[in-house]
């Protein structure tokens, strides 16, 4: 059963730690022994052979930089103080995706339009072939690198298909730990995105801004990587989605990618608790919660955020690499889900979003 993962910060890792995602996760872990990468970002969960084994056919791969006020240390090179610098980082990250897909087209391919998606998917249907390309859909997380909405057309031409206005607060809206509404710059960004057909990602937007955007933005809306706040005890973090936001997303035919990150499944979890205290059952609970609110399985999927500031040390016990997302299938079946809803959750929901939103041709 094919999996689509709606959030991975591949370019950030390539430029920060020189990670080579054509290698297996286990090989990258060996190469990084004695380096500082695992201490900063955990042991990698990603690599081409792991995608292949896990049938992860499509990944929404991000452009991501953080404001200097949130810099994690000297190793953290993808930081900016000006929009000019953010813009430069995103161009460099885009180049990293161009290099990856140019150098290893049999392993990674960009998905820019309908035909690209269908090419990748039809390759995965070939019965006698055991190596398939992973399709990458480019998602800009934190829109601070867009210097003005007039630049959006260029970003679309370059391949960006999804934009999340926030990470921390931005000039567009309130974000994680930095509450606030949509600003006039934020509304202008949404206008430009709607005109060109970008998908809006409300992950990291403060609740107030998210609800305004859900009301205002006419195009397709997702939360590529976010969990349900009502299942999480002892947190009032605005990083999680309230049931109000989930309801509004469902009403707008949106999709939420659930994150298998221990701190997002149990906010009281600490690395010293060990991996064993959080399991894939926690992930199933978040998936099921959205299905219950929607009375259908059409609005929830996966957005792992693997390697996005955490690694092997901080994911549920059953997960050694991205390939183990497949282990959700029997757990969903145990919970009473039948084959169609399970394949919707594992990948089909994201595929139908892409079919609705990718351009016919460039
Ligand atoms: Zn994020």
pLDDT by residue (tens digit) across 78-91?
A: 999 999 999 999 99
> Taking 70 as the threshold, does the pLDDT of residue 51 lie above it?
yes
C-alpha 113: how far from its chain's center?
19
- What are the residue ranges of helices labelled H in the chain? 10-17, 25-31, 37-41, 48-53, 83-103, 114-125, 152-158, 184-196, 207-216, 243-251, 262-265, 280-294, 328-334, 339-343, 349-357
pLDDT reading at 128 higher than 90: no
Q: Calculate how far, in angstroms, residue 224's C-alpha sits from the geometric centre of ligand 1.
A: 9
Q: How many CB atoms lie under 10 A from the CB of residue 340?
A: 10
Per-residue pLDDT, averaged over 288-309, amounts to 98
Structure tokens given for 197: 């057909």
Least Cα distance to 360 among 170, 192, 123, 118 occurs for 118
**Higher pLDDT, residue 162 or 274:** 162
Vertex 323: Cα angle to 47 and 325 (nearest 5): 130
Contacts of 327 (CB under 8 A, 6+ apart): 280, 318, 319
The alpha carbon of 302 and the centre of ligand 1 are apart by a number of angstroms equal to 13
In this prediction, residue 312 carries a pLDDT of: 97
Residue 104: exposed, middle, or buried by beta-carbon count in 10 A (0-12, 13-18, 19+)? middle
**341 C-alpha to ligand 1 centroid (Å):** 26
Q: Is the model's pLDDT at 308 over the cut of 70?
A: yes
Contacts of residue 217, defined as CB under 8 A and 6 or more positions apart, other chains included, come to: 190, 193, 194, 200
Going by pLDDT thresholds of 50, 70 and 90, the confidence category of residue 234 is confident
CA–centroid distance, 153 to ligand 1, in Å, is 24
Q: What number is the average pLDDT over the span 66-89?
A: 96
The overall average pLDDT reported for the chain is: 97
The fraction of the chain above a pLDDT of 90, given in percent, is 96
What pLDDT band is residue 129 in, cutting at 50, 70 and 90?
confident
The rounded percent of the chain whose pLDDT value lies above 70 is 100
CA 126 to centroid of ligand 1, rounded, Å = 34
Task: Determine if the pTM surpasses 0.95.
Answer: yes
CA of 24 to the centre of ligand 1 (A): 24
pLDDT of 362 reads 58
Q: CB-based burial of residue 150 (10 Å sphere; 0-12 exposed, 13-18 middle, 19+ buried)?
A: exposed
Confidence tier at 98 by pLDDT (50, 70, 90): very high
pLDDT(311) > 80: yes
The answer to whether residue 233 scores a pLDDT higher than 80 is yes
Give the distance (Å) from ligand 1 centre to CA of residue 122. 30
Give the Å distance between the CA of 10 and the centre of ligand 1: 12
Interval between CA 334 and ligand 1 midpoint (Å): 30
Ligand 1 center to 305 CA (angstroms): 7
């Amino acid at each position: 059963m094919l999996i689509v993962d709606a959030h991975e910060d591949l370019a950030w890792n390539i430029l920060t730690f020189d990670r080579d995602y054509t290698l297996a996760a286990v090989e990258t872990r060996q190469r990084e022994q004695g380096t500082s990468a695992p201490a900063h970002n955990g042991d990698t969960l990603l690599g081409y052979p792991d995608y292949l084994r896990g049938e992860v056919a499509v990944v929404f791969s991000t452009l991501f930089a953080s404001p200097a006020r949130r810099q994690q240390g000297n190793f953290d090179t993808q930081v900016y103080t000006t929009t000019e610098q953010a813009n430069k980082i995103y161009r460099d990250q885009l180049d990293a995706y161009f290099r990856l897909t140019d150098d290893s087209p049999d392993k990674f391919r960009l998905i820019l339009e309908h035909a690209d998606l269908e090419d990748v998917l039809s390759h995965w249907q070939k019965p006698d072939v055991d190596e398939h390309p992973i399709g990458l859909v480019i998602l800009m997380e934190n829109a601070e690198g867009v210097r003005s909405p007039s630049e959006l057309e260029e970003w679309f031409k370059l391949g960006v298909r999804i934009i999340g206005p926030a990470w921390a607060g931005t000039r567009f809206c309130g974000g994680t730990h930095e509450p606030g509404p949509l600003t006039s710059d934020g509304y202008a960004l949404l206008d430009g995105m709607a005109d060109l057909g970008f998908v809006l990602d409300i992950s990291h937007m403060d609740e107030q801004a998210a609800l305004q955007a859900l009301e205002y933005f006419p195009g397709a809306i997702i939360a590529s990587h976010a969990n349900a706040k009502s299942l999480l005890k002892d947190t009032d973090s605005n990083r999680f989605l309230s049931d109000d936001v989930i309801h509004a997303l469902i009403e707008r035919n949106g999709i939420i990618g659930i994150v298998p990150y221990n701190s997002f499944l149990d906010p009281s979890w600490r690395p010293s608790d060990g991996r064993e205290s959080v399991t894939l059952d926690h992930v199933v609970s978040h998936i099921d919660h959205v299905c219950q609110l929607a009375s259908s399985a059409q609005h929830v999927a996966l957005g792992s955020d693997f390697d996005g500031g955490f690694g092997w040390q901080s994911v549920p016990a059953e997960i050694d690499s991205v390939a183990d997302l497949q282990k959700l299938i029997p757990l969903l079946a145990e919970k009473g889900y039948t084959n169609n809803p399970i394949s919707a959750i594992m990948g089909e929901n994201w595929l139908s979003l892409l079919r609705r939103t990718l351009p016919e041709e460039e």
